[in-house]
Structure 1
Amino acid sequence: MSTSRANELLPVLEQEIVTGTLPPGTRLDETILAERFGVSRTPVREALNRLSATGLIEIRPRRGAIVAEISVQDLMNMFEVMAELEATCAKLAARRITPEEKKALLKAHQACDSLASGEEHDLYYERNTHMHNLIYQASHNAFLEKQTKDLRQRLSPHRRLQVRIPGRMISSSSEHDALVTAILNGNSTLAEKLTRDHVTIQGERFTDFLATLPAHYLRNSA
């Protein structure tokens, strides 16, 4: 029950932090949050621990949980590394994916694609995450899989916001289609390139990404 309630609190707090409703330096008091959400302090503490794992907050001795400072440059550095990790996963997956994993990946892509033209952003994000996880697993490199998942978890709040950019789910699903096809066909070079392009934020996507960020990110980059 505690984990279930923490799962409900987490996206709300993520959204408020990445949009600036809770700016850097804000202290997140467990008792106040518990009263606000009508829950005990246990799920609040669990949600805060998970936010700490993503780097959105810092848990400091005697001060508790504090919303962390972060800059656009910090985010871009993480996305740059994320693109390389995911590209390597896709390259290895194209070489090592099993017949059963191919079926699961195709099914996951189709489930994601069925939502691309709608407005169910959170559900699309969940299915998108599942599809990418299958690619990590198909790399058959446990160390790479763990490192990729860990960094993805840190970027999760920002990637969740990205799918809300108008037209992004449709373009994302189209990119998935080419990527999944490359993996299923065993084309490792193409799978690597398509994944890197899919994750990297550049050009118009960079401008759109900046538009999802509150002003303090830009100030921190100055």
Structure 2
Amino acid sequence: MKINKKQVCQADLRQRILTLDIEPGSVLDETVLSRQYELSRTPLREVFQRLAGEGYLTLEENRGAKVSSMDIASMRNFFQSAPLIYAAVGRLAAENALSCQISALKSAQRSFRKAGENSDVFGMAMFNHSFHHIIGEMAGNAYLTPSLSRLLIDHTRMSQLFYNPKTDREEQLIWTACDQHDQMIEAIEKGEPALVVELTLEHWDLSRGRMEKFVRPDPLPTEFDMDLSEGKKNAL
């Protein structure tokens, strides 16, 4: 079977953006990417246009393609909009889910759990992306689906902090999130919209604080902090 180089390029750029292999705000070099994916400029620009339509890139006249930014304004919009969109999508999913979609959701969840067992940060982020994308397909709403898809791009980019725990407490949050996925599946399968909304908002609250650290990292130590630390060392 002949390989469709445009599709390969498109899928790979999506993944590289989601996994932060290409950082937010980066300008894409057409010459480098044309050589890397063995595409001429015209089909490569068609890929850029498709990815821009999906929210992965922004196209600026005479400046080329740039990976969608995660600046303060966009992050403020993200944290304001996310719980509203996830809750609305979850409610509709419980009302409209098809059996084949529920099977796909369970498959994504099995892959997500396995990635967690293997401490696969990128795997967890990508399968979580798939999990919530499938819920969006279940909702089947032409107005909400584009909003969810755009939301998931930034959610997935930030979630890699959540899935890379530094403490036992942070690791436990991952398994709580995993269990919440199972509960959401069960509620969707039983057709319980109110419960899905409740679980969805709990799920959002669980990861929100960790994701906020993506844009609000721990501050650098102040001169006072360093003096205090030095005093502790001397006391020992």
TM over 0.5: yes
Matching residue of 1:191: 196
Q: How does 1:79-98 map to 2 (within 5 A)?
A: 79-98=79-98
Does structure 1 conserve the Cα–Cα contact (< 8 Å) formed by 2:93 and 2:138? yes
Deviation at 1:17, TM superposition (A): 1.7
Name the structure, 1 or 2, with higher relative contact order (CA <8 Å, separation 6+): 1
Equivalent in 8, 30, 36 of residue 12 of structure 2: 8
Q: Deviations over 1:63-109 (max 9, x none)?
A: 32346654234213224313211211111222333444434433432
Matching residue of 1:203: 209
Deviation at 1:172, TM superposition (A): 2.9
1:170 aligns to 2:170 (yes or no): no
Computing the radius of gyration from Cα coordinates, the structure with the larger value is 2
SS at 1:28 equivalent: coil
In 1, Cα distance between equivalents of 2:162 and 2:45: 28
Query: Structure 1 stretches of 5 or more lacking a match?
Result: 19-23, 213-222
Does structure 2 conserve the Cα–Cα contact (< 8 Å) formed by 1:162 and 1:209? no
Q: AA paired with 1:145?
A: T
Matching residue of 1:40: 39
Displaced runs of 4+ in structure 1, greater than 6 A?
none
Does structure 1 conserve the Cα–Cα contact (< 8 Å) formed by 2:27 and 2:65? yes
In 2, Cα distance between equivalents of 1:119 and 1:79: 27
Give the direction of change, closer, same or farther, for the CA distance of 1:70–1:145 in structure 2 (3 Å limit): closer
Deviation at 1:117, TM superposition (A): 2.0
Q: AA paired with 1:172?
A: A
Give the direction of change, closer, same or farther, for the CA distance of 1:12–1:152 in structure 2 (3 Å limit): closer
Deviation at 1:30, TM superposition (A): 1.0
* Structure 1 length-normalised TM: 0.70
In 1, Cα distance between equivalents of 2:186 and 2:94: 10
In 2, Cα distance between equivalents of 1:67 and 1:107: 30
In 2, Cα distance between equivalents of 1:65 and 1:131: 28
Matching residue of 1:158: 157
Q: Deviations over 1:124-181 (max 9, x none)?
A: 333323322322222243433343224434x265245345422364343122122222
Give the direction of change, closer, same or farther, for the CA distance of 1:152–1:50 in structure 2 (3 Å limit): farther
Q: AA paired with 2:31?
A: T
SS at 2:59 equivalent: strand
Matching residue of 2:230: none
Does structure 2 conserve the Cα–Cα contact (< 8 Å) formed by 1:165 and 1:208? no
Root-mean-square deviation (Å) = 3.4
Does structure 1 conserve the Cα–Cα contact (< 8 Å) formed by 2:87 and 2:197? yes
Deviation at 1:46, TM superposition (A): 4.9
In 2, Cα distance between equivalents of 1:150 and 1:122: 19
Give the direction of change, closer, same or farther, for the CA distance of 1:74–1:5 in structure 2 (3 Å limit): closer
* Structure 2 length-normalised TM: 0.66
In 2, Cα distance between equivalents of 1:136 and 1:56: 18
In 2, Cα distance between equivalents of 1:210 and 1:54: 26
Q: How does 1:46-195 map to 2 (within 5 A)?
A: 46=46, 48-49=48-49, 52-53=52-53, 57-66=57-66, 70-153=70-153, 155=154, 158-159=157-158, 161-162=160-161, 164-166=163-165, 167=171, 169-195=174-200
The percentage of counterpart residues that share the same residue type is: 21
Deviation at 1:112, TM superposition (A): 2.2
Q: AA paired with 1:190?
A: L
